[in-house]
Amino acid sequence: MASLLPHSAPDPHPPSPDAAPEPVPGRTPTAVPSAERGGDAGGEPGWRRARPSPSLEEAYRSVPVTGRTWWRKLLAFAGPGYLVAVGYMDPGNWATGIAGGSRFGYTLLSVVLLSNLMAVLLQGLASKLGIVTGRDLAQACRDHYSRPVGLLLWVAAELAIAATDLAEVVGTAIALKLLFGLPLPVGIVITVVDVFLVLLLQNRGFRRLEALVIALVATVGIAFLFELIVSRPDLGAVARGFVPSAGTVRDAEQLYLALGILGATVMPHNLYLHSSIVQTRRYEQSATGRREAVRFAFLDSTIALSIALFINAAILIVAAATFHRTGNTQVAEIQDAYQLLTPLLGVGAASTVFALALLASGQNSTLTGTLAGQIVMEGFLDIRLRPWMRRLITRAIAIVPAAIVSVLYGESGTARLLVFSQVVLSLQLSFAVFPLVRFTSDRAKMGAFVNPRWVQALAYLVAFVIGGLNAWLLVQTLAGWL
């Protein structure tokens, strides 16, 4: 991946001579000045308009990059990757991982690995777009495409965020029911608190929000390390599971679950999110500064996604070692897994730790989903709502259908709703992936930071594979429903 970065070249987007003063940490930063923000005139090379005001303006360039050593700089850039990684370990991933492990053992671990490698590439491109151009993916789409196309992409992005938030709301409500016996409708209503938690933490500094997310990621990781130890998987079979098998393609049921894992892993709202939050770092506005920022942002997201790989693989491994090994091959729902873990493993804490990890996962994903909603609305429509209002709207869109389904159909209905949310994500994923690959492969937009030809070829291959496989998954799911 080193070739993602140029060796030396002039800055394609030099700072404006009247650039804004550096913001004071803890305060709302000064907006990008008119010379940079522009309008229909005064645009930058490769763009129709000059750079707009940044999304998440209250956090823009609010985190200083200090320290001369490589290690200190890595710590300064660490954070955005973890906010992105939580989307790769949300409750939607739990459902597909449990089903894949219980039904086929360790076979689909190779799909988890492949999905994660795709995610590393795409998130690297998203962070590079934000750092080099000063635009997030939503702003880039608004500038590049006609208004009707831009509105279509906005609707697709909003649907993806609503579907993602729906999965997090349902997952959190299930965890609250498993831990405290709260009825699902009550748990769903409690998730409104997340909106105000995000607002409180962000007002106290973006670093505090990142610290909470990292703590929750660590909670999930430790919980599944415990589950791995007590489930005692066959390490040889685990190693063989990471090797791709032709049987996955030949077996229709395996292929269906493999596509579900892929669809639940690579999530579109993360691309919008990552391209914006990397701009919270106050890196030097020069070719050298941007090159360094791209490098450290890529390292940050790669390390974070490696942790997500461990957690997703652990979900599948625990399901395989606990359910598949004992002949319980039809376990596919989170509630069933919770009920069976303790009796099968003989460890009283196994089910409780599982539910705590689910609660941490759901809370983490809702925090980042609300940020993505704000970025998408501001970027596509240039509408600046108050953050609490935007997040409340996003959460209401998810809570209303989840509450209705839980009241009318109970646990079985919410389980189907969880699957439906992943289908919606699969449907619109390509609407985010193809523009991202196109923009970062355009020399006029990226200058010296344009993707090398081999990265362009690999990125387009990934985009077409994701688009084709998710379309197939959608067709098969609809056929099953009909």
Residue 28: pLDDT band by 50, 70, 90 thresholds? very low
**Domain contains 19:** no
Domain count across the chain: 1
CATH number, domain of 248, equals: 1.20.1740.10
Tell me, yes or no, whether 113 lies in a domain: yes
Which pLDDT score is estimated for 37? 37
- Classify residue 322 by its DSSP letter: I
Contacts of 448-455 with C-beta under 8 Å, sequence gap 24+, read 448/6, 448/9, 448/10, 448/11, 448/12, 448/287, 449/5, 449/6, 449/9, 449/12, 449/128, 449/132, 449/290, 449/291, 449/294, 451/4, 451/125, 452/3, 452/4, 454/3, 455/3, 455/4, 455/121
Q: Are 440 and 446 in contact, with CB atoms under 8 Å apart? A: yes
Boundaries of domain holding 214? 60-481
For the chain, percent of residues with pLDDT exceeding 90: 34
> Has residue 104 got a pLDDT over 50?
yes
**Is pLDDT of 30 > 60?**
no
In a domain, 463, yes or no: yes
Predicted confidence band of residue 23 (pLDDT cuts 50, 70, 90): very low
Q: Is 283 inside any structural domain?
A: yes
Q: Which residues contact 69 (CB under 8 A, 6 or more apart)?
A: none
User: Looking at residue 94, what is its pLDDT?
Assistant: 81
Q: Is position 459 within any domain?
A: yes
Tokens of 126: 């998203």
* Rounded alpha-carbon distances, angstroms, from residue 7 to 77, 289, 291, 449, 457: 21, 13, 9, 9, 20
Mean pLDDT, rounded, for 430-438: 92
Residue 464's H or E segment, with its range, is helix 453-481
Q: Which of 41-45, 63-67, 275-279, 447-451 has the lowest average pLDDT? A: 41-45
Looking at the domain assignment, is residue 18 inside a domain?
no
Q: What are 337's strand-pairing partners?
A: none
Could you give the C-alpha distances from 202 to 57, 216, 385, 393, in angstroms and in order?
A: 11, 16, 16, 18
Confidence of residue 416 (pLDDT cuts 50, 70, 90): low
Q: Does a structural domain hold residue 108?
A: yes
Locate all alpha helices (DSSP H) within 50-104, ordered by sequence. Answer: 70-77, 80-85, 91-104
Spatial contact of 248 and 100, defined as CB atoms under 8 Å apart: no
Beta carbons of 2 and 455 less than 8 angstroms apart: no
pLDDT digits (tens, 9 = 90+) for 152-175: 999 888 888 877 777 778 888 888
Which tokens in the block code for residue 206?
């973006």
pLDDT at 436: 96
